[in-house]
Amino acid sequence: MSLPVQALQAALDALSDTIAIVDEGGVIRATNAAWQGFMQANGGDPETCSVGANYLDTCDRAQGPCADEGRPVASGLRAVLDGTSPEFSLEYPCHSPDEQRWYCVHIKPFRSDDQRYATVLHENVTDRKLTEIRASDLDAEVAQGVRTQTADLRQENSELDAFIGAVSHDLRAPVRHLQGFLGLLRRRGQERLNADDRQMLDVLDASATRLGHMIDELLGLSRVSQRALQIRPVNLAQVVLRAWANMAPETQGRDIDWVAGDLPVLQGDADLLQLAFENLLSNAVKYTGGRATARIEVGAREEQGSWVVFVQDDGVGFDPRYTHRLFGAFQRLHPEKEFQGIGLGLVNVKRIIERHGGEIWAQSQPGDGAIFSLRFPKPAAR
């Protein structure tokens, strides 16, 4: 049993979205109350928007706040009615003097008594659109805030690095004076100094030497941070071999099984990368010092979008609970009486790798050696 026409119209009028039904020629055959209210509020009139009017003609000659979308809607409706398109949707602004509004028109076909029709529905999407705009504005505001903070942080870091460099440079002269006068005092008072005096001078001399090394490392850290990168293709195998050659004074008299695997060509600063590997290899040589035969290996593996280069040794290792301290300034995981150093080498390495857009991490267990891994991004394909 079919529903009476009055019941069908009541059902259409109960819907809050604007709906019209048009036939194959684009003539409106039915509308609901929301459709009439929407059209009249946006410059329409009963002659162009009510039952019997040709909606295609209305869209082609559209005027008012939604006029720009008239022709695209007419084109989409024709494509749906002639079967060249399964459906059509278009989101458009339709602002009034009093408020901002957005609608989305949905056109879908159906058949009845072998006749082709289409439903035309204008959905009010203003709330969603305003939410998207607010989210976009918030994202833009956050992004701008991040850019500003990043620029401020870079400026502060640059100023801090410059300060460190200046202070370190100024400290060099008094340290040299201290070491010189200690040596002079030792020579002049050689016959008058007792064992306790000589021990005190030895402690002072060792402290001055350590301070000198700290100043040199701080100057190196400042230079690494301030120096402009000279980016070019770098054969990492050659860089590592040069770094290993510079280890000759430290490896003299040592039995070290040195292994260098296939290494990639990277985009980077060859001098800074060599400095990074000199620090890593120096650490490996130092912490394998207790082994009759040590093994140090440098290799690489390819991962998605990056190269991972590793430096592995079979030395004393370290407690993994303190890995986070490795790359902090003046942080040491072993007593100085066992292994000399001031704890800035790995800070330098971290700065260099991060300036190349990469990252560094370490893995170890006490007595089981250590692996330092460096991730370098691959250049984007052109």
- Tell me the average pLDDT of the chain: 78
- Measured CA to CA in angstroms, residue 380 lies from 270, 304, 319, 377 at distances of 20, 12, 37, 9
CA dihedral 337, 341, 343, 348 (to 10 degrees): -160
Which pLDDT score is estimated for 146?
62
Which pLDDT score is estimated for 17?
80
Report whether 291 contacts 315 (CB < 8 A).
yes
Angstrom distance (rounded) from CA 201 to CA 181: 11
Q: Which CATH architecture group holds 127-226?
A: Orthogonal Bundle (1.10)
What is the tens place of the pLDDT at every residue in 41-79?
666 666 677 788 888 887 887 766 566 777 888 888 889
Which pLDDT score is estimated for 170?
63
Proportion of the chain above pLDDT 90, given as a percent: 12
Which pLDDT score is estimated for 343?
53
Domain edges within the chain = 5-124, 127-226, 229-382
CA dihedral 49, 54, 59, 63 (to 10 degrees): -50
Which pLDDT score is estimated for 335?
46
Count Cβ atoms below 10 Å from residue 115 Cβ, excluding itself. Answer: 10
Report residue 368 as tokens.
């089981």
Which pLDDT score is estimated for 214?
65
Give the residues across from 266 on adjacent strands.
234
CATH code of domain 229-382: 3.30.565.10
Query: Mean pLDDT, consecutive 10-residue segments, the chain of 382 residues?
Result: 69 82 88 80 68 83 69 87 89 74 87 86 84 72 63 57 57 72 78 80 75 66 64 92 87 89 90 87 86 91 91 85 67 47 70 88 85 86 54
CATH code of domain 5-124: 3.30.450.20
